[in-house]
Homo-oligomer: A and B are copies of this chain.
Amino acid sequence: MRSVVSTRGGTGPELRERPRPVPAGGEVLVRTLRVGVDGTDREVVAGEHGGPPAGEDHLVLGHEAVGVVADANGTDLAEGTVVAPTVRRPPSGTNEYFERGEPDMAPEGAYVERGIVGAHGFMSEYFVSAPEFLVRLPRDLAEWGFLVEPISITEKALEHAYASRSAFAWEPESALVLGNGSLGLLTLAMLGERVERTYCLGRRDRPDPTIDLVEDLGATYVDSRETPVPEIPDVHEPMDLVYEATGYARHATETVAALAPNGVGALLGVPGDWTFEVDGGALHRELVLHNRALVGSVNSNRDHFEAAVETLAGLPEWVLESLVTDVVGVEDYDRAFRDDDTVIKAALEFDTL
């Protein structure tokens, strides 16, 4: 079967023929429908993040997948069920984090990530998985099911951000998303359901499809070249919630200055080392005197995937159609990894229902 892989020392994704996997006892065989591509995939391909399973020369890419059960293999998961797989797996056997359904909170060493680090992903015509790592979707969401994983990332980040504000009455009215990539835009659409006034920060000129989508969602586009993050409260308004999806390290500290009293910043980017000057006194003081919080969030668990299925079902079709700019066949896999201003979200299509 055809798989899209990243090889050790390689410079881009490659198509490789691999044997169709045979499900072990307790596993099902899934026929892959679509697999999304995101920034993490590009980092893996560039050798900046993750890597193949121990002892192997390549990693099957892909961690945002939707498929259909092809062989139930004696499990309860009926053939024909549409499923999205979660990403983390125990490195061997299980451990306390997986046992309590919180692999997203596992520390380094207590997990591998399919398609990212230490375990093959889903960019194959077929993959196998235990049913506990597969979340069911209604059949009419099969086309968009590869968005369940990125949506689940935001479900978790928002859950943690809201939890941090749960010791008092908190009803966010303003929210700012830093970043107009696909995760930022998905989050903007999700926040539109919860928060009165939404904003999205980018650094693009018009005409631009992401700016169009921001505005079609009823949000305000903020050009960071005109309005740096710390100036947003004066130019627009202080933000009850900031969601950082840029990986730009200055945004972590600048977020504090953009917050309203009692606000929270959810951080999701993963920048490399970068030393720069910060007014650490003001940062510290602003956190304290205004009861502000910063919450880092990575990965997501099965509960977040299930919430994401609900969220996906509630997103208007036009949002999904605007967001997913490219669905390409396996033979055009390199096009799915393209990263220019015309692409918002791309997916590889292996098969259809």
Q: Which residues of A contact B (CB under 8 A)?
A: 100, 102, 104-105, 107-108, 159-160, 163-169, 247, 249-253, 260-262, 267-298
Which residues of B are found within 8 Å of A247, using beta-carbon distances?
A: 284
Contact between B253 and A270 (Cβ–Cβ < 8 Å)?
no
Q: Which of B108, B250, B260, B296 contacts A288 (CB 8 A)?
A: B296
| Given A105-B262, A291-B105, A296-B288, residue A278 in contact with residue B281 (CB < 8 A) | no
- A287 to B287 CA separation, bound complex (whole angstroms): 15
Q: Which residue in chain B gives the minimum CB-CB distance to A96?
A: B169
- A275 to B250 CA separation, bound complex (whole angstroms): 14
| Given A281-B273, A287-B252, residue A163 in contact with residue B164 (CB < 8 A) | yes
Which residues of B are found within 8 Å of A292, using beta-carbon distances?
A: 296
Which residues of B are found within 8 Å of A272, using beta-carbon distances?
A: 281, 285
Known pairs A108-B289, A267-B287, A267-B288 / 5 extra A-B pairs, C-beta < 8 Å: A105-B291, A160-B293, A250-B280, A270-B284, A291-B298
Contact between B160 and A163 (Cβ–Cβ < 8 Å)?
no
Number of copies of this chain that the complex holds: 2
Contact between B273 and A288 (Cβ–Cβ < 8 Å)?
no
Contact between B284 and A271 (Cβ–Cβ < 8 Å)?
yes
Contact between A277 and B275 (Cβ–Cβ < 8 Å)?
yes
Contact between B288 and A280 (Cβ–Cβ < 8 Å)?
no
- A166 to B162 CA separation, bound complex (whole angstroms): 10
- A159 to B163 CA separation, bound complex (whole angstroms): 11
Contact between B284 and A279 (Cβ–Cβ < 8 Å)?
no
Contact between A273 and B262 (Cβ–Cβ < 8 Å)?
no
Which residues of B are found within 8 Å of A275, using beta-carbon distances?
A: 277-281
| Given A105-B168, A285-B272, residue A291 in contact with residue B280 (CB < 8 A) | no
Q: Which of B164, B261, B267, B281 contacts A274 (CB 8 A)?
A: B281
Q: Which of B249, B267, B291 contacts A297 (CB 8 A)?
A: B291
Which residues of B are found within 8 Å of A278, using beta-carbon distances?
A: 253, 275-278, 280
Name the distance in Å between A323's Cβ and chain B's nearest Cβ: 23
Name the distance in Å between A183's Cβ and chain B's nearest Cβ: 13
| Given A105-B262, A167-B160, residue A249 in contact with residue B280 (CB < 8 A) | yes
| Given A164-B160, A166-B163, A262-B105, residue A249 in contact with residue B281 (CB < 8 A) | yes
Contact between B296 and A102 (Cβ–Cβ < 8 Å)?
no
Q: Which residue in chain B gives the minimum CB-CB distance to A169?
A: B100
Contact between A294 and B294 (Cβ–Cβ < 8 Å)?
yes
Which residues of B are found within 8 Å of A249, using beta-carbon distances?
A: 280-281, 283-285
- A259 to B284 CA separation, bound complex (whole angstroms): 17
Q: Which of B262, B268, B277, B296 contacts A293 (CB 8 A)?
A: B296
- A260 to B108 CA separation, bound complex (whole angstroms): 11
Contact between A281 and B287 (Cβ–Cβ < 8 Å)?
no
Contact between A289 and B280 (Cβ–Cβ < 8 Å)?
no
Name the distance in Å between A138's Cβ and chain B's nearest Cβ: 26
Q: Which of B102, B104, B166, B289 contacts A270 (CB 8 A)?
A: B289
Which residues of B are found within 8 Å of A269, using beta-carbon distances?
A: 284, 288
